[in-house]
Amino acid sequence: MIATEHKATIKGGEFLIKETAASQVFIPEEFSEEQQMIAATCREFLEREIWPRLDEIDHAKSPELIASLMDKAGELGLLGTSVPEEFGGFGMNFNTSMLVTEVTGAGHSFSVALSAHTGIGTLPIVYYGNEEQKAKYLPKLASGEWKAAYCLTEPDSGSDANSGKTRARLSEDGKYYTLNGQKMWITNGGFADLFIVFAKVDDGSGQADKNLSAFLVEKDFGGITMNEPEHKMGIKGSDTRQIFFNDCQVPAENLLSTRGNGFKIAVNILNVGRIKLGVAAVGGAKKVITNAIQYANERQQFGTLISSFGAIKHKLAEMAVKVYACETACYRAGQNIDDLIESLKTNGMSDADAKLKALEQFAIECAMMKVHGSEVLDYVVDEGVQVYGGMGYSADAPMDRAYRDARINRIFEGTNEINRMLTVDMILKRTMKGELDLMGPAMAVVKEIMSIPDFSTEEEEVMFAAEKKVLRNLKKAVLMVAGAAVQKFMMKLSEEQEILMNLADMVIETYVAESVLLRVEKLANAQGDAALQKDLALTYLHEAVEKVNNAGRAAITSFAEGDELRVMLMGLKRFTKIEPLNLKETRRRIADAMIAENKYIF
């Protein structure tokens, strides 16, 4: 067992200016026996109930099959992981629920149904419900007796979620709200018993509230109709509907939290959804890698297995490097959330408030992991198709479904563009509010690029000393570009979305590269040998440096000119310097090890 010393010592986004010791991060190798048993239960469930039925699920004419599979998941306790014990769940900590999400993430359409129910469908009540609401609904949702759906999106209100037209009019006697409106893209819509519906309260004056409110709407309240399931590119077995509320009467006590608090609820619940989407993508991607390795170990061309070709090894290794890094960063952030929850509860905060506060604190990391996880998965499925060649294009081989099902992840839970913008926006807002001290370090970087570079090559005798210097420099690159962009555009930076995208990429790559290096340092300290994991970490770091350089250059050249442009480009060059490494060899070692075991092994 590896010694862990992770406590809530870091704030969200603070990794940009603070160094973290390897001993302070949680790494997946630290999952306890009990947690591994939970993961094994989930895996067995997929093997037994889901994977043999993937075709049946995707071609089902009614949502009964997916609903019955949810019932089975409920019997096993998979629906109650995040529900407190007093309400019929298991009250697992955040990283355990992340682990369940990772494993079940390989369940294609089923995993979407599952996460919509356990996440956006159930958590609003866990976090914002009053005692009566929790007692009434949570036991049913935890057992699977009732299924839930989350109704935020409307035909004209997607990314701009607070602009919805659905209205809730309070009756004169104050006893009920009448809901009218149309929701779109509602996962589990066809079989849900409970809908979390977001609408603006209109008290009869004709003027609706500025912000959404959230309502707990039972199917049997009446006034609910829906269209047939949407025909989709992928996740075909996930039931997605347009839902209409026509004079649907909702008792006043079914308002969740307070009037006008719905947008906040929606946003905070999406924080959980985002990081969990990232880790679910990891689970899906691991399965794709194993499939690709097994195919490459069977398919022969030119008289030899295609797994012996360097071009194929490169692909397999790249897939593994990205997935390993993403997994690392997801659980690092997950533990930060758990640590903060514990520390807030120790200081007297209620369980629900502590969870909300912690998720809000790490909202930056949640947004980053959504973007990273969904894009890693898309990379992996794309290369998976390529490893399969023509068979990758066949609907009878597994890559077809993996490829189509992956694509939605860059769209829901906030598109990746929105999450990239949020990442940068939250960092800048926290800096302005004085919650994150980026100003001082950013000024220091400006001074540094105006001074003569430090050519000293002396490094301490610690593991990854040179790589840690590279990481410190990547952070300086982020601060340099962000600082200059803020100075140039001030409040108008939000209109320079291309630059925000570049900055988000720089921040995300820096976070993930740091996470993977810390994981491997901790692992090597504990086990003595982690040669392959070092290959994974170093390969990722080299790629991250290149991406930071590219994104930084794109940003700088888009707004700087003359001397400023030259100085900044020189600074970027300085901050993205890394000793060359034979990455062909690191990748070959990674691929060879997986090929020998005939599966993803990390």
* Residue 448: C-alpha distances to residues 13, 68, 85, 401, 468 (Å): 22, 62, 54, 51, 18
Q: Which of 71, 60, 59, 109 is nearest to 193 (CA)?
A: 71
Please tell me whether residue 576 adopts helix, strand or coil conformation: coil
Do residues 137 and 146 lie in contact, with contact meaning Cβ atoms separated by under 8 Å?
yes
DSSP code per residue over 283-311: HHHHHHHHHHHHHHTT-EETTEEGGGSHH
Q: CB of residue 69 vs ligand FAD: minimum separation in angstroms?
A: 18
Q: Please, which residue, 116 or 532, has the CB nearer to ligand FAD? A: 116
Q: CB of residue 134 vs ligand FAD: minimum separation in angstroms?
A: 22
Q: Which residue has the tokens 């699977």?
A: 144
Q: Please, which residue, 91 or 273, has the CB nearer to ligand FAD? A: 273
Q: Is 163 in the site for ligand FAD (CB under 6 A)?
A: no
Q: Which residue has the tokens 């200016």?
A: 17
Q: CB of residue 207 vs ligand FAD: minimum separation in angstroms?
A: 25
Q: CB of residue 448 vs ligand FAD: minimum separation in angstroms?
A: 33
Do residues 544 and 45 lie in contact, with contact meaning Cβ atoms separated by under 8 Å?
no
Q: Which two tokens stand for residue 257?
A: 């939290």
Which of the stretches 56-64, 181-189, 356-364, 454-462 binds ligand FAD when contact is defined by CB under 6 A? 181-189
- Rounded-to-integer distance, Cα 479 and Cα 477, Å: 5
* Residue 325: C-alpha distances to residues 113, 334, 356, 417, 594 (Å): 26, 14, 26, 21, 16
The one among 32, 62, 130, 159 contacting ligand FAD by CB under 6 A: 159
Q: CB of residue 143 vs ligand FAD: minimum separation in angstroms?
A: 21
Residues whose CB is less than 8 angstroms from the CB of residue 40 and which lie 6 or more positions away in sequence, other chains included: none
Q: Give the x-and-dash track for 411-430 against ligand FAD (CB under 6 A).
A: xx-xx-xx------------
Q: Which two tokens stand for residue 124?
A: 């609003």
Residue 239 backbone dihedrals phi, psi, to 5 degrees: -85, 115
Q: Which two tokens stand for residue 368?
A: 């980053």
DSSP 464: T
Q: CB of residue 166 vs ligand FAD: minimum separation in angstroms?
A: 11
Q: Is 151 in the site for ligand FAD (CB under 6 A)?
A: yes
- Rounded-to-integer distance, Cα 16 and Cα 328, Å: 17
Q: Which of 154, 327, 375, 413 is catalytic?
A: 413
Q: Which of 37, 40, 35 is nearest to 97 (CA)?
A: 35
DSSP 412: S
* Residue 67: C-alpha distances to residues 48, 116, 147, 162, 238 (Å): 16, 12, 8, 30, 10
Contact positions with ligand FAD (CB under 6 A) in 518-547: none
Q: Give the x-and-dash track for 550-589 against ligand FAD (CB under 6 A).
A: ----------------------------------------
Q: Please, which residue, 321 or 426, has the CB nearer to ligand FAD? A: 426
Q: Please, which residue, 344 or 408, has the CB nearer to ligand FAD? A: 408
Determine the size of the site formed for ligand FAD (CB under 6 A): 20
Give start and end residues of each alpha helix (H) in 395-438: 398-406, 416-432
Q: Please, which residue, 416 or 576, has the CB nearer to ligand FAD? A: 416
Q: Which letter, b or e, does each residue of 571-587 get, where b requires 16 or more Cβ atoms within 10 Å of its Cβ? A: bbebbbebeeeebeebb
Told to judge if 597 belongs to the known catalytic residues of this protein, a careful annotator would answer no
Contact positions with ligand FAD (CB under 6 A) in 378-417: 408, 411-412, 414-415, 417
Q: Please, which residue, 230 or 437, has the CB nearer to ligand FAD? A: 230
For residue 277, which amino acid is it?
A: L
Please tell me whether residue 566 adopts helix, strand or coil conformation: helix
For residue 12, which amino acid is it?
A: G
Q: Please, which residue, 238 or 515, has the CB nearer to ligand FAD? A: 238
Q: CB of residue 382 vs ligand FAD: minimum separation in angstroms?
A: 19
- Rounded-to-integer distance, Cα 182 and Cα 314, Å: 48
The one among 93, 187, 409, 510 contacting ligand FAD by CB under 6 A: 187
Q: CB of residue 402 vs ligand FAD: minimum separation in angstroms?
A: 16
The one among 13, 63, 105, 158 contacting ligand FAD by CB under 6 A: 158
Contact positions with ligand FAD (CB under 6 A) in 470-509: 497
Residue 488's H or E segment, with its range, is: helix 465-489
Q: Please, which residue, 351 or 417, has the CB nearer to ligand FAD? A: 417
Q: CB of residue 56 vs ligand FAD: minimum separation in angstroms?
A: 20
Which of the stretches 23-31, 151-159, 249-257, 529-537 binds ligand FAD when contact is defined by CB under 6 A? 151-159
Q: Give the x-and-dash track for 108-147 against ligand FAD (CB under 6 A).
A: --------x-------------------------------
Residue nearest to ligand FAD (CB): 158
The one among 45, 87, 127, 185 contacting ligand FAD by CB under 6 A: 185
Q: Which of 198, 74, 88, 81 is nearest to 134 (CA)?
A: 88
Strands 148-151 and 194-202: parallel
Contact positions with ligand FAD (CB under 6 A) in 59-118: 116
Q: CB of residue 110 vs ligand FAD: minimum separation in angstroms?
A: 14
Q: Is 232 in the site for ligand FAD (CB under 6 A)?
A: yes
Residues engaged in binding ligand FAD (CB under 6 A): 116, 150-153, 158-159, 185-187, 232, 240, 408, 411-412, 414-415, 417-418, 497
Q: Which residues are catalytic?
A: 413
